[in-house]
């Protein structure tokens, strides 16, 4: 069963990686991926905090708690699974960005994007479609840029949502 999942995962990756050849898309996905680097989240948090509402303060607190949960989980899973990145495992693709760590599973960019999206949408639900679309685009960009398999991104999204909900419960 696991071999079948890995095979589907690699085949889907090979379909999506073909988008690398589209130059305008390549540049767009590099920019989208950079939104998941972390600097954007700090800036975004500061902008939300400047609104000074109770929801803004709760969002910041919840997000900090969620990241305090997410970061150790992300780091532990990377070391437990030690999954090679697609550009290392498959000789047919290139990476278009330099990954921030050695291993592929789970996608830390996607986890963080979904922590932010879920936390933000809990307090500001009107923005859910746009925020979740952006989080999904960050995850998709990591596949197209050659640094993650689809399952890395899917599990990263689910773990990010879980960490955000834990942050909501705790804060």
User: 99-151: per-residue pLDDT in tens?
Assistant: 888 899 999 999 999 999 999 999 999 999 999 999 999 999 999 898 999 99
**Is 136 exposed, middle or buried (CB count within 10 Å of its CB: 0-12, 13-18, 19+)?**
middle
Within a domain: 102: yes
**Domain region containing 126:** 11-170
The token duo for 167 is 């942050």
Within a domain: 5: no
User: What is the domain count for the chain?
Assistant: 1
User: CA-to-CA distance for 132 and 114, rounded, in angstroms?
Assistant: 7
Within a domain: 4: no
Could you tell me which of 153, 138, 145 has the C-alpha nearest to residue 38?
138
pTM above 0.75, yes or no: yes
Could you tell me which of 58, 37, 34, 35 has the C-alpha nearest to residue 48?
58
Q: Are 139 and 29 in contact (CB under 8 A)?
A: no
Within a domain: 2: no
């Amino acid at each position: 069963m696991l071999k079948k999942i890995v095979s589907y995962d690699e085949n889907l990756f090979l379909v999506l990686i073909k988008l690398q050849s589209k130059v305008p898309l390549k540049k767009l996905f590099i920019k989208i991926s950079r939104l998941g680097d972390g600097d954007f989240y700090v800036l975004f948090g500061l902008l939300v905090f400047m609104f000074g509402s109770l929801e803004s303060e709760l969002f910041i607190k919840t997000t900090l708690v969620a990241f305090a949960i997410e970061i150790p989980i992300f780091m532990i899973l990377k070391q437990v699974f030690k999954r090679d990145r697609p550009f290392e495992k498959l000789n047919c693709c290139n990476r278009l960005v330099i990954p921030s760590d050695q291993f592929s599973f789970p996608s830390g960019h996607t986890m963080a994007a979904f922590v932010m999206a879920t936390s933000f949408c809990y307090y500001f639900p009107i923005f859910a479609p746009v925020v979740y679309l952006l989080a999904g685009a960050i995850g998709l960009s990591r596949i197209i840029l050659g640094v993650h398999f689809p399952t890395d991104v899917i599990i990263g999204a689910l773990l990010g949502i879980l960490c955000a909900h834990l942050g909501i419960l705790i804060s």
